[in-house]
Chains A and B, each alone.
Chain A
């Protein structure tokens, strides 16, 4: 923020979406799920995508185990813990819906897009998605 914006640089961003039991795809705003993370939900997602919690001097034992299983951080896929975050958000969303509601989610996903550089257009080039069945 202090360095200011630069039109030449690529920027990526994410959209949280849910797939309902009735077959709809809906946008979900995480502030309605984890309001303690007010003004920070976006940076939490960015840190999860770049596996920041695996780059600490002392990492969580479960993360250490995962690193051992995949053979080191260089083999770790992007967003290795994203399914855990999506599960938490999916459960919180479903807890807010009545049991019989058609708006309950059967899956939740994060879609990642890129705003290509150079001009004020083409904001939504799709890059990748993380999806979790609930």
Chain B
């Protein structure tokens, strides 16, 4: 229970801004009207989207239809990012983003980069994520008056979701391919395949260098699987956290440069592991020269520094 208690209204509010803000920035940079020009006849509605009639998609998948959809989604994400009418706007954003993600998946494939962030939207939609770090709080519409558990468990849940995502990824690889996954040709073949066309977002050609070091690759692939299996430690053992997340950044940069596959949403979600309470403490700490002046003013020999990490009482008199 101690892990749950570590969360705070501030951390949950910042998490809301990060998750919703990631989708907001992405939507701002995306041409929805171009999406609306794709032929609806190549659409393959997935999951619950199959329940909607074709006449709905015929109307939606037009430049004007998608422009309206973008406007509504941007407005909702703007409100939820800044925490205005948070209970309503986080839920609306969740529904709209979920639908949008379903739409692009109905044209392409089940890309998992954004899925973790979509799960986070679901978590945030039903938790008090607007009690601090929100316009609702600053306009006194909401106060952080819930017990610590109410703010702590959503953060823990989001961290556990990420840990499960990596951990289960390793399990699936081992279940589907077994030790064949460690074959020297596994990584170069996949990497070269994703580097041959010009339909991927990037066109790096480093993959063609991999066959030269193919004997080393089973060790590297094994290391990645080992890291995925260890990922849950990032939740429960703080000293390992930055090593595990740092390896994750390196891993996703490798997939970009060697495989032309990138996971920007997932990387952005690493910020959930930051202790925002501590960051706020650093930001609110007075500048060093003021701090020294303060020490001097207190008197020689009477002031001593507080233990590291205690930001509430830096000076003991």
Taking Cβ atoms with an 8 Å cutoff, the residues of A that contact B are 1-7, 11, 13-16, 27-31, 33-45, 47-48, 52-53, 56-58, 60-63, 81, 84-85, 87-88, 91-92, 113, 115, 120, 123-124
Contact status A57-B34, CB under 8 Å: no
Given contacts A4-B173, A6-B185, contact A36 B196 (CB under 8 A): no
**A44 contacts across to B, CB distance below 8 A:** 42, 107-108
A-B contacts, CB under 8 A, total: 153
Shortest beta-carbon distance from A37 to chain B in Å: 6
The reply to whether the CB of B2 lies closer than 8 angstroms to some CB of chain A is no
Taking Cβ atoms with an 8 Å cutoff, the residues of B that contact A are 29-32, 34-35, 37-45, 50, 54, 57, 104-105, 107-109, 111, 113, 169, 172-173, 176-177, 180-181, 183, 185-193, 196-201, 203, 208, 211, 261-262
Q: Contacting B198 at CB < 8 Å: which of A2, A29, A63?
A: A29
**B187 contacts across to A, CB distance below 8 A:** 5
Most chain B Cβ neighbours within 10 Å, of A2, A62, A87, A123: A2
Shortest beta-carbon distance from B32 to chain A in Å: 6
11 residue pairs from A and B, CB less than 8 Å apart: A2-B177, A16-B198, A30-B198, A37-B35, A41-B108, A41-B201, A42-B197, A53-B41, A62-B41, A81-B39, A123-B196
Contact status A42-B176, CB under 8 Å: no
Q: Contacting B34 at CB < 8 Å: which of A33, A40, A85?
A: A33
Shortest beta-carbon distance from A93 to chain B in Å: 10
**A2 contacts across to B, CB distance below 8 A:** 169, 172-173, 176-177
**A27 contacts across to B, CB distance below 8 A:** 198
Contact status A92-B37, CB under 8 Å: yes
**A35 contacts across to B, CB distance below 8 A:** 29-31, 34
The 6 closest A-B pairs by CB, nearest first: A40-B108, A5-B189, A43-B109, A42-B199, A84-B39, A36-B35
Q: Contacting A34 at CB < 8 Å: which of B34, B43, B177?
A: B34
Contact status A34-B180, CB under 8 Å: no
Contact status A40-B111, CB under 8 Å: yes
User: Closest residue to B208 on the A side, CB-wise?
Assistant: A120
Q: Contacting B108 at CB < 8 Å: which of A4, A43, A61?
A: A43
Contact status A13-B108, CB under 8 Å: no
**A120 contacts across to B, CB distance below 8 A:** 188, 192, 208, 211
**B39 contacts across to A, CB distance below 8 A:** 81, 84-85, 87-88
User: Closest residue to B105 on the A side, CB-wise?
Assistant: A40
User: Closest residue to B191 on the A side, CB-wise?
Assistant: A5
Contact status B104-A36, CB under 8 Å: yes
The CA of A33 and the CA of B30, in the complex, are separated in Å by 10
**A31 contacts across to B, CB distance below 8 A:** 200-201
Contact status B42-A34, CB under 8 Å: no
Q: Contacting A15 at CB < 8 Å: which of B45, B173, B198, B262?
A: B198
Contact status A39-B262, CB under 8 Å: yes
**A87 contacts across to B, CB distance below 8 A:** 39
Contact status A36-B192, CB under 8 Å: no
**B108 contacts across to A, CB distance below 8 A:** 37, 39-41, 43-44, 47
**B192 contacts across to A, CB distance below 8 A:** 115, 120, 123
Shortest beta-carbon distance from B202 to chain A in Å: 8
The CA of A84 and the CA of B45, in the complex, are separated in Å by 18
**B176 contacts across to A, CB distance below 8 A:** 2-3
Shortest beta-carbon distance from A90 to chain B in Å: 10
**A28 contacts across to B, CB distance below 8 A:** 198
The CA of A29 and the CA of B201, in the complex, are separated in Å by 8
The CA of A11 and the CA of B189, in the complex, are separated in Å by 10
Most chain A Cβ neighbours within 10 Å, of B41, B45, B104: B41
